[in-house]
């Protein structure tokens, strides 16, 4: 049982690492949870930033699924850094 838990934890960590790498590379889509981890903030702040226009608006890609385009986020983050680090 312990080995199964360890394996699942390692798999989860690998998925999270890949999600952050995809965001950094501008590939695919990210959830508010992934963006919060990337920007070291809360999910609520991610939604607030999107509403304020500091992050791009999310896309509704399913009935209960909303995601941000990683290339849009990457371009937005780069633009904000060029403006002096504002998000």
Instruction: Per residue of the chain (87 residues), give pLDDT as tens.
Output: 678 888 999 999 999 999 999 999 999 999 999 999 999 999 999 999 999 999 999 999 999 999 999 999 999 977 677 566 655
The single-letter DSSP state of residue 56 is P
Domain limits for position 25: 2-82
List the Cα angle 15/19/23 in 5-degree steps. Answer: 170
Task: Tell me which H or E stretch contains 62.
Answer: strand 59-62
The verdict on pTM exceeding 0.85 is no
Does residue 12 fall inside a structural domain? yes
The answer to whether residue 87 is domain-embedded is no
Secondary structure element (H or E) that encloses residue 32, with its range:
helix 32-39
Number of domains in the chain: 1
């Amino acid at each position: 049982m312990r080995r199964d838990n360890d394996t699942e934890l390692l798999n989860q960590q690998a998925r999270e690492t890949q999600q952050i790498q995809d965001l950094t590379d501008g590939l695919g889509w990210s959830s508010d949870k992934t963006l919060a981890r990337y920007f070291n903030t809360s999910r609520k702040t991610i939604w607030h930033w999107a509403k304020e226009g500091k992050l791009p608006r999310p896309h509704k890609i399913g009935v209960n699924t909303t995601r941000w385009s990683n290339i849009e986020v990457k371009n937005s983050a780069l633009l904000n850094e060029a403006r002096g680090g504002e998000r």
